[in-house]
Amino acid sequence: MRRRRLRVVIPAYPAFNIYSCIAKKTTALGPVCVASAVNELQGWDAEVIDENNLCRHGPRSNSGGADHELLQQQRPADVVGFYGGLTSTVPRLYRLARFYKDRGVVTVAGGQHFVGDNIAEALSCGIDYVVFGEAEETIAELLQAVEGKQDINEIRGIAYSNNGEIVQTPAREPLVDFDRLPLPDFSLVRYAKIKIYPVERIRGCGMNCEFCTVKGKPRCASAERLLENISNLVETYNARCFFIVDDLFGQQREQTIRFCQMIKVYQERIRRRIVMTVQIRLDKAKDTELLTVMRQAGIRYVAIGFESPIEEELRAMNKRISSQDMLSLVNIFHKFGFLIHGMFIFGYPALENSKFVMSVKDRVKRFRSFISKAKIDTVQVLLPVPLPGTGLRRRLEQQNRVYSIQDVGWEYYDGNFPLFEPDKPMSALQMQHAGKKIMRRFYQFRYLFLVAASILSFPTIAFYFHNLKLGWQKWYRIWRKRLIRFGGWLTIQKWTSDFQKGDFSRKLREARKNLNPP
């Protein structure tokens, strides 16, 4: 009997944004996990097509993304799954789903976007089955059902349409025994050139920030599994850079410390350094033992969600930290020698009962001053995104402030566009410009000259420290910072030029009019 094929598609980003460059060097972990689980099923092959990372020889279509017509001719898929983890890619996801459905292919989608009303939306836009939450086990059962070997109604955690009526089966418990799952197999990602491998140990986060879709008690794989995952990639793909995608590094503290110790020993054994980036909360700075072992393990890059230097905004986000504490805590990370990527949200709406009012100018000042005091190495300033399923979206919807999807579609949900009426006296356009203004102050053209200057200054620095290694380390840090800041300037320029060619401003006017009809 012919083997069947599942193709999992990661849809292309709708437009160029600050993540477009990184997306060309990495891939999304979830779809790889799903494909890896299917690849172990008898009679099934699986592949992943990452439209954001098709490499030079990948099958591109003229309109962007992959050429699915060609893919179907070359390797027809029986079932196509779609990664719906990023809401901004959902319009593309639906277009592709319709394309495949019209050709008689079964279509499945999973990822954070599919909650509430979006389930009906998906089922009316070309998707046959929506899978909720983690899909490694569900997809295996679903494919059995597609083959007629299992009753569809017995599969927990899915939704489908039965003669126009939406059937949602009982929820499935979140996974706990990760060691039963196969390691993610990146060889299934066709065409992609991966330089930064996403790996994980912990799923879930108990902090409950209002704007975030990640919910639930953290569930952890063993430290051994993460080590095995990394060493496998080092030894088979010569991998060097890893992004540990856990939302909060350092949860399950003892095991995290053990992991750091194990990866340190591993690097000594293979005599190679591994570059790891983690996401961590600022309050972990209080745990100096954790920071010490992280540095010993070679972890240098930390991504930290500062979000805002404004107390009222932090309170509305349920961030459980004060801006004053943030400055002292970030200093500890500096002392340990970490390079810090600071993530900010500009214009977060205050709670309804708060009397908080601040002009755009003052807000910008507060952000700039904080960023400069905190001496953050790289920053991203995005706008609040009322993501489906979050408390933020519910709050703004209750206040009738979210622009309708008909006016400002899902493709704008990437943090670069205003998606709701901001707090007065700020207007939506002011909020958008202000966010970019803060970024422009940080990433400037003049850093190009400074890059050149630092190249010329290397011999002086090395001489000054009388030590080539120390001189190199000091010099490299300065040179890297300047290069990144110039690169950031190029990114903002490109984004601005694409934005000016688009018609978002008209859509925004329409959306505002429809929100408050005269």
Residues in contact with ligand B12 by the rule CB under 6 A: 8, 13, 17, 19, 22-23, 28-31, 33-34, 81-83, 85-88, 108-113, 131, 134-136, 139, 198, 200, 212-214, 245, 247, 382, 385, 387-388, 414-415
Cα 275 to Cα 100, 195, 514, distances in angstroms: 39, 11, 49
Q: Which residue has the tokens 């027809």?
A: 76
For the CB of residue 35, give the shortest distance to ligand SF4 in the complex, in Å: 25
Is 214 near ligand SF4 (CB under 6 A)? yes
For the CB of residue 279, give the shortest distance to ligand SF4 in the complex, in Å: 7
Is 241 near ligand SF4 (CB under 6 A)? no
Interacting partner of 9 out of ligand B12, ligand SF4, none (Cβ under 5 to 8 A depending on kind): none
Burial (CB count within 10 angstroms: exposed 0-12, middle 13-18, buried 19+), residue 379: buried
Q: What DSSP letter does each residue of 175-188 carry, written as one string?
A: P--GGGSPPP-GGG
Interacting partner of 28 out of ligand SF4, ligand B12, none (Cβ under 5 to 8 A depending on kind): ligand B12
Nearer to ligand B12, 212 or 227 (CB): 212
Interacting partner of 131 out of ligand B12, ligand SF4, none (Cβ under 5 to 8 A depending on kind): ligand B12
Of 120, 136, 104, 106, the closest CA to residue 31 belongs to 136
Of 13, 8, 7, 9, the closest CA to residue 91 belongs to 13
Interacting partner of 248 out of ligand SF4, ligand B12, none (Cβ under 5 to 8 A depending on kind): ligand SF4
Determine which helix (DSSP H) or strand (DSSP E) holds 220, and give its type and residue range: strand 219-220
Q: In the window 264-283, what residues touch ligand SF4 (CB under 6 A)?
A: 281
For the CB of residue 50, give the shortest distance to ligand SF4 in the complex, in Å: 23
Exactly one of 50, 128, 185, 247 binds ligand SF4 (CB under 6 A); that residue is 247
d(CA 409, CA 413): 8
Q: What 3 state SS string does 371-430 have?
A: HHHHCCCEEEEECCCCCCCCHHHHHHHHCCCECCCCCCCHHHCCCCCCCECCCCCCCHHH
d(CA 41, CA 504): 45
Nearer to ligand B12, 219 or 366 (CB): 219
Q: In the window 291-320, what residues touch ligand SF4 (CB under 6 A)?
A: 305
Which amino acid makes up residue 248? L
Nearer to ligand SF4, 233 or 314 (CB): 314
For the CB of residue 286, give the shortest distance to ligand SF4 in the complex, in Å: 15
Interacting partner of 245 out of ligand B12, ligand SF4, none (Cβ under 5 to 8 A depending on kind): ligand B12
Residue 171 and residue 177 in contact, taking contact as beta carbons nearer than 8 Å: no
The size of the interface with ligand SF4 (CB under 6 A), counted in residues, is 10
Nearer to ligand SF4, 214 or 483 (CB): 214
Helix, strand, or coil here: 499?
A: helix
For the CB of residue 516, give the shortest distance to ligand B12 in the complex, in Å: 26
For 429, what's the count of Cα atoms within 13 Å in the CB-facing half-sphere? 9
Interacting partner of 297 out of ligand SF4, ligand B12, none (Cβ under 5 to 8 A depending on kind): none
C-alpha 322: how far from chain center: 25
Q: In the window 71-100, what residues touch ligand SF4 (CB under 6 A)?
A: none
Is 493 near ligand SF4 (CB under 6 A)? no
Q: Which residue has the tokens 């017509």?
A: 69
Of 304, 298, 159, the closest CA to residue 241 belongs to 298
Nearer to ligand SF4, 141 or 247 (CB): 247
Binding site for ligand SF4 (CB under 6 A): 205, 207-209, 212, 214, 247-248, 281, 305
